[in-house]
Amino acid sequence: MTEPRRDRWGRYIIPDPKTGEDREWTRATTIAGVLPDRYHLERWGERMVVLGIARDESLYVLAQTAKYEDKQRLDKIARDAKSAAKSGSAANVGTAIHTFTEMVEDGQPIEVVPQRYRADVAAYLDALTQLDATVLSKEQIVLNPTVGVAGTYDRKLKVPSISNLPLIGDIKTGRTVDFGLLEYSVQLSIYANSEYRFDSDTGEVEEITDLPDLASGLIFHIQAGKGRCEVWELDLIRGWEAAKVALQVREMRSWKDLGKKIEITQPEEEE
């Protein structure tokens, strides 16, 4: 299996299917994160930093020695504080649950899943059964040269009760998805509208022949430790419209010529 290279920002470095030249691909999650309101997420991050410094005296001491100009040092202290507050543990559990679902879908017995999370994986499998869903592929990197974006979807599924075309699906493991539907619809719409895929077995870029439904996608919300799995059908038509707006907003952020300074004489500074 061949993993594509990444640059220092985590972007895939994969040949452009039209030119054959290596290029960096903006991540789908980056575009998906442009439009949503980040207020609650940012407040949560601030609370984790406070808790982390309160729990680790060494971080408190380090923070006292840093100056505002020491941005890299302060950033590291903030990251370490979040880790001290165990803010990364939920993400680690989510990654593990993703892997457990793959292992069981690939034929391993559910007993390979630790007892604490076995009911979570079982709830996901039960959701697939109730939908009469068939998993067609997993963890596929797709490329959208039109917008220069790439990403990895969790599942492509056949769900006859929803669509005659394959559906893009993603697994989410946070506490709630209520505040993320805009972000997720953008993310899945980018995957659905991608024309090429990266073959991890050969390292080649190939055209996608089994194009998915562009109107609908699925989110499987596995509530870690709760033994529950909710399924959400997302509107990818509006998600794609939002994705194009997000790309425009991101481009606008790079504008450097929105104003020019008019030179006027300033008073002399007093000694």
- Residue 175: what are its φ and ψ, rounded to 5°? -65, -35
Displacement of CA 238 from its chain's centroid (Å): 19
Domain ranges of the chain: 24-36+91-252, 41-84
Cross-strand pairs, 144: 149
The average confidence (pLDDT) of the chain is 91
Alpha carbon of 2 to those of 14, 22, 81, 200: distances in Å?
11, 15, 35, 5
**Using CA atoms in the order 198, 201, 203, 206, what is the torsion angle rounded to 10 degrees?**
-40
What are the tokens at 2? 């061949």
For residue 77, what pLDDT is reported?
87
What are the tokens at 174? 């946070």
* pLDDT exceeds cutoff 80 at 15: yes
The 10s digit of each residue's pLDDT in 69-109 is: 888 888 888 888 887 776 667 778 889 999 999 999 999 99
- Supply the CATH classification number for the domain 24-36+91-252: 3.90.320
* pLDDT exceeds cutoff 90 at 67: no
